[in-house]
Amino acid sequence: MGKTVIETSGVVKGKVRDVMFDLGGGVIFLVQGADGKDNQIDVSKVTGISEHVVVRSEPSNESGAPDYGTACKFCGAAKPAQERWCPSCGRSQI
Ligand SMILES: [Zn+2]
């Protein structure tokens, strides 16, 4: 508890405020975001827990920020999955 939750894309989701158990035996983290709202994150999305809790990025993108879901084949820079051209080296990914 109190750990910072970070998505694999690097987005900070907030801090773990509570841990709940659902009826099916699953575990849900109650995460308080920077806006003070609680988000429920299913533990199945958690890819690792160390200093921080790391969760897989949501497929939907509500914030409108670029989704750096993939890395450039050539230079390895993070780039939005839907982008054909690498923003770093400018090479086509197709
Ligand atoms: Zn590149």
Ordered structural domains, the chain, with CATH: 4-61 (2.30.30.240)
In the predicted structure, residue 79 carries a pLDDT above the cut 80: yes
Q: What pLDDT does residue 86 have?
A: 87
Over the stretch 27-44, which tens digit does the pLDDT of each residue have?
Answer: 999 999 988 999 998 888
Q: Model pTM greater than 0.75?
A: no
Q: For residue 86, how far is its CA from the centre of ligand 1 (angstroms)?
A: 5
How far is the centre of ligand 1, averaged over its atoms, from the C-alpha of 9 (Å)? 17
pLDDT score, position 67: 59
What's the whole-number mean pLDDT along residues 46-57?
87
Distance 80 CA to ligand 1 centre (A): 11
Q: What is the pLDDT of residues 55-77, one digit of tens each?
A: 888 665 455 555 557 888 899 88
What ranges make up the beta strands (E) of the chain?
4-7, 12-21, 27-32, 38-42, 46-49, 53-55, 70-71, 78-79
Backbone CA torsion sign across 64, 33, 12, 45: negative
Around Cβ 10, how many Cβ atoms within 10 Å? 9
> What's the 32 CA to ligand 1 centre distance in angstroms?
35
